Structures are given as C-alpha cells and as structure tokens.
Amino acid sequence: MCGVTIGVSALLLSVYLLIQRAMERQVDLVVETEIESLREDYRSGGRKRLIDVLDKRTDDWGRLGAAYLLIDKQGTALAGNLPAWPTMSNSVGAWREFDITVNEQGRAVNHPVRAAVVALDGNRLLVGTDVSERRRFTQRLRAMTFWGIGLTAALIAITGWWFSRRLAARVRAIAQACDSIISGDLTRRLPMGKSADEFNQLTGTVNGMLDRIEQQTTAVRVTFNSAAHDLRAPLYRMRARLETTLQGAVVDGTASRAVQATLDDLERVQRTLATLLQIAQAEAGGGAMPPERVDLAQMAIELGELYALEAGARGLTLRVAAAGPANVNGHRQLLAQLLTNLLENAIKYVPSGGGVDLQVTANGSKITLSVSDDGPGIPEMSHETMVLPFRRLERDQGAPGSGLGLSLVAAVVRLHHGQLELLSTKPGLRVSCSFAAAA
Amino acid sequence: MQILLIEDDVEAASHVSSGLREAGYTVKHCVDGATGLAAARAARYDLLIVDRMLPQLDGLALVAALRQADVPTPVLVLSALGTIDDRVEGLRAGGDDYLVKPFAFAELLARIEALLRRASGDNRHVGTLRVADLEINTLARRVTRAGRNIDLTTKEFQLLEYLARRVGQIVTRTMLLESVWNLQFDPQTNLIDVHMSRLRQAIDRDFSPPLLHTVRGSGYCIKDPGATA
C-alpha cells in the first residue's frame, strides 16, 4: 500500500520535472534562435542594421512578449524596449532572470523575464522573453502534481483500509470456524466469501480437506463404538454366565475362586474399555452435552473429602486448598474424572507417610487445578510420553492400572483448551491443569 | 411384580430373566423394539427393562413413544454405550435409570428395587425419617439415636439420608456415588467403603442393635430390626 503511494508520487513528480525542464528548454531555444538571427543581422549589416531590426521588433512587445536591449561600451542604450540595463535577480552563464514592470490598462504589472546576453564587438545585446505564462503553467502543474499525490495517497489509504477491514473480517470468520473445529466440532466449515477470489479457492480446498477428516473421524468413531459395543455384548454374557455359575450350588471352593478371579479380570477389561470410550468422547469434543458452569473449587473440596478417608487408610495425608468460586465452562463429569484420576494416581503411587496436596487457585482469568505429591514422581524425560495411552513406567508395570489415567487427563484438558503441566518437584510430582475462567 | 424385558441378545436375556425369576419377579421377554412396545402397551407391567440398541425400534425411541402415550411405568435402560452423554440422553428420553453393560447382577437387582419403590412413592417423605430408634431430621439436618445427638459431616448425612429413605433396600456403591457425589462413573478404588465404615461407627458403635449392614457383593442396607420385612 505504502509502496504504491510512493510509486505514484515518484511518477507524478518526475512527469512534473520533465515537463518543467522541457518548457524551460523550449524558452531558451526561442531566445537562442532569436539571438542567432540578430547576430546574423549584425554580421551582415553591422550595428546600424541591428538597431533597425531591433527598432522594428520592439513594436511587437506585448504580442510576442520579447525584450531587447542593445548598449554600447559606455552603457548607453542604443535600441530595444527596455528602459535600462536591468538589475539581474539571477544569472547563470549567459542567462539572466529579472522582472520588468509593464503598464497594463493603467496598472503596473511585474513580468518575469528570462534573457540571454551576448557581446557584439564591445556592444552588449540582451534578448529575453516574458516567462510569466510559463511560470503560471509550472505553478499550476506543480499544484496539480501535489494534489495528485495527495489524492492518490488518500484514495490508496481508504481502499487499503477497506480491503484490510474486509480481509480482517474474513480472517476472523475463518479463525472462529477453525477454533470451533479445533474444539471438536468437525462438522463446521470455513465460510465462503461472495467473490470468486483466491481466498475462496483456498477456503474450498480447506473445506474439502475438512470433509475428508470428518469422514475419517466418523469412520473411526463408528468403528470404535461398534467395537466397544461388540466387545461389551460378549463381556456382558460372560459375566452373566459366570455369575449364574457362582450362584449355582455345585461350585466348589477352587472353581469358585477361579470364577471370581475371572469376574475381577472382566471388571478390569470393562474399565479399560470405559476409559478408552471416555478418552474418545473427550477427543471428539465432549459429546452431545453442552458445556456447563463448573466450580472446580467446590468439586475439589467434595472429591477431596471423598478421597481423604481412603488416603488416610493408606497412611497418606490429603490436603485440599481450594478457595472458590473457581468457575470454568466445561463438562462436569469429565472434569470430575480428570480430578479423580489425578487423586487416584497420587494415592496409588505415593508410599505411606507421604502427602498429597490438591489445590485450586483462581488467578484473574486463569484457573489452575493441581495435585502435588512427595512420592517417587515421574522422570522428566518421560513426562511427555506418560500422557500417551498405555504408557507406564517400567517400575510400575506390576502395579494395577491400565496406563490410561493421564491420557484421559490430557484429553479432558485438551477438550477444555487448557494446559497440562507435569513438574518434577524432587521429591514428587506436581500435575497442574490450567483453564480459562468462565466469564 | 411383573417385569417386561426388551433385549435382543437372547443369551444375556435368558440369564437376566432367570436371575430375576430367582429373585421373585415374573418376567416376560421380547426380542425387538416393535414387539416390546406393543407388549408394554397391551398389559400393565411394574417395570420395563429396555436395551438401548434394539432391532426395528431403538430403545430410546421406544421409551419416548411410551411416554408420549402416557404410560408411566418406570423404565430401566440397559446399554452397551457407556459414555456419560449416553446416560444423560437415556434419562432425558424418559428412562428412569440407566445401567451400562456389563453390570453386576446385584447392581441390576438393587436398581430394579429402587425403581419399584420409587414408583410406589415411599421415599419422598420430608421431615423426620425414623429407623428403629434412629431419627433423621432432613430439614434441620440433625440425627439422633436413642435420643442422643450424632454429629455427621454433610456427606455422611447425605449417605445416611439416602439409605434411610430406602430402608430394607440394597443400595449399591455406584448408586451412592451417583446420588451423593454426583459422579456418573466408577472411581477405581473402593472409596465408599471407608465412608460407610465411618458412618457405621457414628450410628452403630455405641448402640444396639446395628442398623447399617454390608451386603456382600452388592452394597449396603439399613434395616429396621423391629419391622417385618
């Protein structure tokens, strides 16, 4: 935009300068031709003839706007229409510029004159021409050039502003659409503009890409749901069969223990499946339920109370520091699941005698929920991989659990556009999740 | 008590049916939604157990159709879909409770019982609940046993109230988590047990006879020893 303004200004300026130069050159050419012709007259007829020619020419003043003056060595005027040798305002080489006062309809008017002086055997001849017309024209041209530059700049500024506003509006609309796609609404498409410009071309391509992604996601979700359903049906039958078997009178102790153990395993499989489904739900945008206002401080207090006894029974101290309200917009059950996962991890891995701190702090527009413990922690190099499904530390391979806890936490944090941070506190681990406070 | 079971998985249905019959219910079984809806309209049942995914007519559509026709029979929706939203959707469609497969049979029994009692409207009482010499003032949130004040935390009080409104009924851990903590998923640890043993200490330790009982493999139950069960 700025470049265009500068370009147009430079163009107009150079046009102006070229015209000005050409006009000056033209004036000089006329004077030079006149001088040449007078010099010819002098050469052929001497001073006498020159004076005659000049006397004849001076009658034409006013029509031609020409000024002449011939003086001898002593400075006496011999011929011409100038009363006296003028005081030069400006002299470059042979060229002189000065003003003469002319009486026009009873008024004294100043006329700028550009003249050249030549020496003819001791006499000096001045030939000039009235340049007021030319000066006026140059002035007008200059004014027009500057107006032109000003108007161009204004016009460019206005169109630029209009374009950038239009552009900003489109970019905003696209950004909004992208935001809602990021938060899981895969049915959303980028808005198409009215004109068939490059933007629309790009929007069309991106929308095509989104169609493809949605198709794939739907396919994955449908597959996942059917798989979950198809797995659950046999699990359900197995469980029913085993329970019926247990209730039967003919089962002896060993068989009963085996059946019970199988039932426990089934329970674990079911849990893993349920957690996977929940991760899938969180990744897919939280499902059909609209987000609601959830007070994380209140939730922390209630769940802290729920877990405090269990923690106490394992020799741990669970401290809750949550000053409410700390409202976020979100999915209550998924947030509760996030919190229980963090608490259960801490309670599971911190040895007896340790402490667990559950904190919820509201800091302006940010709400942070954190669970810190003084347990064995997670080595820093594993922080990133621990949030992936089924990742567990080698030392915990024997402990019960599916390795999905932190994945679910990460998925829920992502769903709520929050930040998840794992921090080694040596000893211990601090997991903190920050969310935007509800307006 | 007449129960209509609408479930397309025949083997699972036969286990449920036999279990329910053993528990003393009369069970009729339909294998698809359309037949189920016709049956539910044709005769009066005390409870419907409806699988969510049914051939011909989806379980939720069936429940909605029943509610449209002003059939008030309580409905327990069974589903292999287990996300929280599915549950809320099921309840919104007019289901009274929602159970995710696979479930422990004890859980199903407890929920059936709760639904049947709720339908007969005997747990909506406001004011003072009495179980033997235990008195629970639900308005003042005060508990006394044999005239002596018992201090309870808010959650302990809620647990006790929930149980006392269902005297003689088995209440499962999941039901307690749902109603007292508003958690619609099962935490991994048996958190409820510690809370119940606290509650038991408060209301039973210094008194006799014990009122709060653990039902092995199912949950908890408050019993009035004087009442005829």
**Each residue's pLDDT tens digit, A355-386:** 999 999 998 899 999 999 998 888 888 888 87
Decide which of A205 and A402 is more confident: A205
Q: Which two tokens stand for residue A437?
A: 């406070």
3-state secondary structure (DSSP) of residue B28: strand
- Residue-wise pLDDT for A177-193, tens only, equals 888 887 667 788 888 87
Find out whether B27 and B21 touch, Cβ atoms under 8 Å.
yes
What Cα–Cα distance (Å) separates residue B38 from each residue in B32, B56, B90, B202? 10, 12, 20, 51
Q: What is the pLDDT of residue A279?
A: 80
pLDDT of A61 > 90? The answer is no
**What is the predicted pLDDT for the residue at B201?**
92
Q: Is B99 helix (H, G, I), strand (E, B) or coil?
A: strand
Any idea which of A116-120, B39-43, B64-68, B150-154 has the lowest mean pLDDT? A116-120
Check B155 against A306: CB less than 8 A apart.
yes
Nearest CA in chain B to A286: B85
Q: Which residues from chain A sit within 8 angstroms of residue B11, using beta carbons?
A: 237, 240
**Phi/psi of residue B120, each to 5°?**
-85, -5
Give the model confidence (pLDDT) of B120-138 as tens digits.
665 566 778 888 899 999 8
Residue type for position B196: M
pLDDT tier, B218 (very low <50, low <70, confident <90, very high otherwise): confident
A250 to chain B nearest CA, in Å?
17
Q: Does residue A238 surpass a pLDDT of 70? A: yes
What pLDDT is attached to residue A162?
92
State the Cα–Cα distance between residues A332 and B141, nearest whole angstrom. Answer: 27
- What is residue B133's DSSP assignment? T
B89, A401: Cβ pair inside 8 Å? no
Q: Which of A209-213, A376-380, A415-419, B162-166 has the weakest average pLDDT? A: A376-380
Residues 6+ apart with CB under 8 A from A344: A307, A405, B187, B188, B189
Q: What CA–CA distance (Å, rounded) separates A349 from A399?
A: 9
**Contacts B12 to A, Cβ<8 Å:** 233, 236-237, 240
Among residues A384, A240, A418, the alpha carbon closest in space to that of B16 is found at A240
Residues of A in contact with B8 (CB under 8 A): none
Contact of B104 with B170, CB cutoff 8 Å: no
CB pair distance less than 8 Å for A266 and B53: no
Q: What confidence score (pLDDT) does residue A251 get?
A: 65
CB-CB contact of B37 with B59 (8 Å): no
pLDDT for B27 equals 95
- A307:B191 CB<8 A: yes
Beta bridge partners of A101: A110
Maximum Cα–Cα distance for chain B, whole Å?
59
DSSP type of residue B175: H
Give the three-class secondary structure for B6.
strand
- Min distance A273 CA to chain B CA atoms (Å): 9
CA angle A275, A225, A332 (to 5 degrees): 45
Instruction: Kindly report, residue by residue over A10-38, the tens digit of the pLDDT.
Output: 888 898 899 888 888 888 888 888 888 88
The mean pLDDT value for B199-209 works out to 90
Among the listed ranges A69-78, A222-231, A254-263, B50-59, which one has the minimum average pLDDT value? Answer: A222-231
Q: Measuring CA to CA, how many Å separate A429 from each of A390, A407, A422, A425?
A: 19, 16, 7, 5
Q: Which long-range contacts (CB under 8 A, 24 or more apart) does B175-179 make?
A: B175/B110, B175/B111, B175/B114, B175/B219, B176/B219, B176/B220
Per-residue confidence band for A252, with pLDDT thresholds at 50, 70 and 90: confident
Residue, of A287 and A181, whose pLDDT is higher: A181
pLDDT at B5 over 90: yes
CA distances from A100 to A89, A118, A137, A238 (A): 11, 20, 19, 121
Output the pTM of the full model. Answer: 0.67
User: Is residue B204 over pLDDT 50?
Assistant: yes
CB contact under 8 A, A309 and B9: no
Structure tokens at B140: 């003042």
- pLDDT confidence of residue A275: 81
The shortest CB-CB distance from B194 to any of A271, A313, A333 is to: A313
B229 pLDDT band, cuts 50/70/90, is very low
Residue A72, pLDDT above cutoff 70? yes
Residues of A in contact with B184 (CB under 8 A): 333
Highest-scoring range by mean pLDDT, A67-76, A102-111, A281-290: A67-76
A236–B85: do the CB atoms touch at under 8 Å? no
* pLDDT at B93 (0 to 100): 84
- Which residues on A lie below 8 Å from B101 (Cβ)? 232-233, 235-236
Do the Cβ atoms of A306 and B105 come within 8 Å? no
Whether residue A49 is predicted with pLDDT greater than 70 in this model: the reply is yes
Nearest partner of A257 among A242, A268, A269, judged by Cα = A242
Burial degree of A397 (CB within 10 A; 0-12, 13-18, 19+): exposed
Tokens of B52: 């969510």
Instruction: Write down the pLDDT at residue B125.
Output: 67
* Peptide bond between residue A191 and the one before it cis (omega within 30 degrees of 0): no
What number of other Cβ atoms are within 10 A of residue A40's Cβ? Answer: 13
Taking CA–CA distances from A243, the nearest residue in chain B reads B105
What is the mean predicted confidence (pLDDT) over B98-110? 87
Return mean pLDDT, chain B: 87
Q: Give the burial string for B155-166 (b: 16+ CB within 10 Å, else e).
A: bbbbbbbbbbbb
Q: Look at residue B115 and tell me whether its pLDDT is greater than 80.
A: yes
- pLDDT at res. A91: 57
| ipTM tops 0.85 | no
Which pLDDT belongs to residue A432? 93
List, for residues A293-319, the tens digit of each pLDDT value. Answer: 999 999 999 999 999 988 998 999 999
**DSSP designation for B224:** -
Average pLDDT over residues A122-149: 87
- Of B83, B107, B183, the C-alpha closest to A273 is B83
Does A309 sit within 8 Å of B83, measured CB to CB?
no
- Find the chain B residues whose C-beta atoms sit closer than 8 A to any C-beta of A: 9, 11-12, 15-16, 18-19, 22, 53, 80-85, 88-89, 100-105, 153, 155, 181-191, 194-195, 198
H/E stretch holding B90: helix B84-92
Q: Is the predicted pLDDT of residue B18 greater than 50, yes or no?
A: yes
| Rounded Cα gap, residues A93 and B82, in angstroms | 102
Predicted confidence band of residue B63 (pLDDT cuts 50, 70, 90)? very high
How many Cβ atoms sit within 10 Å of the Cβ of residue B107?
20
Dihedral in degrees, nearest 10, Cα atoms A360, A362, A368, A370 = -20
Mutate to test the interface with B, among A224, A231, A232 (most CBs of B within 10 A): A232
Pairing state between β A66-71 and B97-100: unpaired
CB spacing of A225 vs B186 below 8 angstroms: no
Report which of A393, A183, A85 is spatially closest to residue A175, judged by C-alpha positions: A183
B121 CA: distance to closest CA in chain A (Å): 29
Q: At B190, is the pLDDT very low, low, confident or very high (cuts 50, 70, 90)?
A: confident
- In chain A, the residue whose alpha carbon lies closest to the alpha carbon of B183 is A333
Which residues of chain B does A402 touch, with a Cβ-Cβ cutoff of 8 Å?
A: none
The secondary structure element, H or E, covering residue B186 is: none
Three-state DSSP state, B119: helix
How far is Cα of residue A62 from the mean position of the Cα atoms in its chain? 66
Would the pLDDT of A52 be above 80?
Answer: yes
User: Does residue A36 or residue B90 have the better pLDDT?
Assistant: A36
